[in-house]
Amino acid sequence: MEGNGKAEGAIEMFEAQAHIYKHACNYVNSMVLATAIQLNIPDIIHTHGKPITIPNLVSALKLPPHKSNAIFRIMRLLTHNGFFDSTKLNEEEDGYVLTASSRLLLKSQIPNLSPFALFAVDPVMLAPWMVLGDWFSRNEESSAFETAHGAPMWEFCDTNSRFNNVFNEGMASDSQMMRLIVKDCEQAFEGVRTLVDVGGGTGMIAKLILEAFPRLKCTVLDLPHVVAKQTECENLGFLGGDMFHSIPSADAIMFRHIMHDWSDEECVKILKKGREAIMANKNDGVKKGKVIIIDMVLGAEEDNERDVTEMKLIFDVLMMVLVTGKERTEKEYENLFTQSGFTHHKITPIFGLTSLIEVFP
């Protein structure tokens, strides 16, 4: 029989093996989640209205009975991962119900994060990871995305309508989460009459802000192919343009999930354009304009939660692989603001992964 030291050493090694295998095979979790969304499992359970058994789920899915074991196995994994709960209905059958996570995947509800979850595993998104090791030894491409697809991500979106739609739907679904906290950001919009949402895509965030603050007049600035078919209304307009060239003047310029897409040098260029836009604003009702940034801040207060910290670090590497950007600490943001001519800023962590940053000239 081995001594305690050797037994403890073996236990540690097998725990390390499980840790390695878990992360090496984590793609299984992503793909099974996407499969559940594609099969409409969360909505089927929601419509059922009570705990659903595997036979009832298979029937609702219109699958042949011999697929029952396969459905059971993916439901077992998804339940382990917190997407469903199971309850004992009798000695032989469990019933499955939704959790907070799967309720956010309901296609009939808002917010609905299903488009983002499917966007994350789109073949276009997965291809750069297959060449990431090669990208490190290459000098020609700015990102692994460009290595995989022959063009930077924004150029690729411009020429690939299918992926452009997948991307915009994914971003719009993520933006829906702002509905939960937009009214908590009231102080950031106090005294603001005009707002430009830079890189605002299909206008989801602008619409949510206008629902909460209907006195505002908002313009969404994005690339021409993004805003070309968007519907305007009395206090919401769309403008095709390039934030590196010019930004319309307004009381406030907002960048949501924009800064993390770009390098420090590119962010300084964007911020300088934002500063020019608020300094050029002639609205006498606002003494000084501001730039509003909604983005992740590494090391913010909520980072004591392991899942939040890990997700921010994942997004940091994701930005490196897809584009030229990164997630930043408060000090890194402060350096950008100073280089761009701003004098002070205020960071307010909001629920989840993001913080609200107000930047003043």
Residue 109 counted as domain residue:
no
On whether both 52 and 130 belong to a single domain, the answer is no
Q: Domain of 311?
A: 181-360
Does 187 share its domain with 155?
Answer: no
pLDDT of res. 228:
83
For residue 255, tell me if it sits in a domain.
yes
Percent of the chain beyond pLDDT 90? 75
Q: For residue 163, what are its two tokens?
A: 């992926």
pLDDT for res 282: 65
Question: How many beta carbons lie within 10 A of that of residue 131, not counting itself?
Answer: 18
> How many Å apart are CA 173 and CA 138, to the nearest integer?
35
Residue 1 is predicted with a pLDDT of 45
Pairing outcome for strands 94-98 and 84-88: antiparallel
User: Is the separation of the CB atoms in 69 and 77 below 8 Å?
Assistant: no
Number of CB atoms found within 10 A of residue 39's CB: 16
For 101-131, the pLDDT digits (tens) are 999 999 989 899 999 999 999 999 999 999 9
Terminal Cα distance for the chain, rounded: 72
Which of 103, 123, 139 lies at the terminal end of a domain, its last residue?
Answer: 103
pLDDT (tens digit per residue) in 206-223: 999 999 899 999 999 998
CA distance 294 to 35: 31
Read off the CATH number of the domain in which 99 is found: 1.10.10.10
280 and 306 housed in the same domain: yes
What is the structure's pLDDT at 245?
A: 95
Q: Same domain, yes or no, for 233 and 346?
A: yes
Which residue ranges of the chain lie beneath pLDDT 70?
Answer: 1-5, 282-287, 300-304
Q: State the Cα–Cα distance between residues 121 and 117, nearest whole angstrom.
A: 7
Tell me the per-residue pLDDT of 177-206, one tens digit each, with 9 for 90 and over.
888 888 788 888 888 999 999 999 889 899
The one catalytic residue among 46, 149, 257, 260: 260
* Domain end among 103, 135, 161: 103
Q: Is residue 74 part of a domain?
A: yes
In a domain, 108, yes or no: no
Sort strands 328-329 and 236-240 into parallel, antiparallel or unpaired.
unpaired
Q: At what angle do helices 330-339 and 264-279 cross, to 10 degrees?
A: 60
Q: Which DSSP state fits 353?
A: T
The verdict on whether 257 is a catalytic residue reads no
